[in-house]
Copies of this chain bind each other. A is one copy, B any other.
Amino acid sequence: MNGEPDDYLRAVEAALFVAEAPLTPAELRLHVGDAGDLAAVLRQLTDEYAGRGINLVERGGRWHFQTAADLAHILRREKDEARKLSRAAMETLAIIAYHEPVSRAEIEAIRGVQVAKGTLDVLMEAGWVRPAGRREVPGRPLIYATTVDFLSHFGLSSRRDLPGIDDLRAAGLLDPVDLALEGLGGQSVLENDDDVA
């Protein structure tokens, strides 16, 4: 951290330090006012803290300080054991995150099994998934999406940071099967089978 930090930067730093939850720039402004260029200050703080034991990060439009990931081993406590998700819950969460908004039927189509009763509950209770309205199709099924807390928890600035999402989208793997079939124009997979056979 170089030079004399100005009071506006100091105020932003202090507010982020004491905050109980990540703050949006708008929330920060309620406390620190408009006396400076908040975006620039956040960038400067991010730079100043990069490489330190504490980092300033942005998650889903909200900012917070957190410890550097490589120090996890000295900071982790027994009771910090992260919530152990079932395989079904993990997959369901991933499907929602990569496809959102998505209905239960769509989740089931991808997983090939029914979504057990508690699975979505667990994800909603964790604060990672929320109902996001209804799809305007017959039956008006509820659709689900991820939350800002989901982004914070998994260290994502936005959904664009989801691992491999661009590749998956480019490969058509996030499209429904029907859509993918149309895209392939009926191209046969039998060629491969023929090779093997």
Contact = CB atoms under 8 A, between A and B. Distances in A.
Given A4-B51, A5-B52, A48-B1, A75 B15 contact: yes
B65 A31 contact: no
**For the complex, would chain A's binding face be called helix, strand, loop or mixed by DSSP majority?**
helix
A31 B17 CA distance: 21
Interface stretch (A6-14, A89-97, A128-136, A146-154): A6-14
Interface residues of A, number: 31
A71 B14 contact: yes
A53 B13 contact: yes
Given A1-B52, A13-B52, A13-B53, 20 more contacts: A1-B1, A1-B48, A2-B2, A4-B51, A7-B70, A9-B53, A10-B52, A10-B53, A11-B71, A14-B54, A14-B67, A14-B71, A14-B74, A15-B75, A17-B54, A17-B65, A30-B77, A31-B75, A31-B77, A32-B74
Interface of A: 1-2, 4-5, 7, 9-15, 17-18, 30-33, 48, 51-54, 65, 67-68, 70-71, 74-75, 77
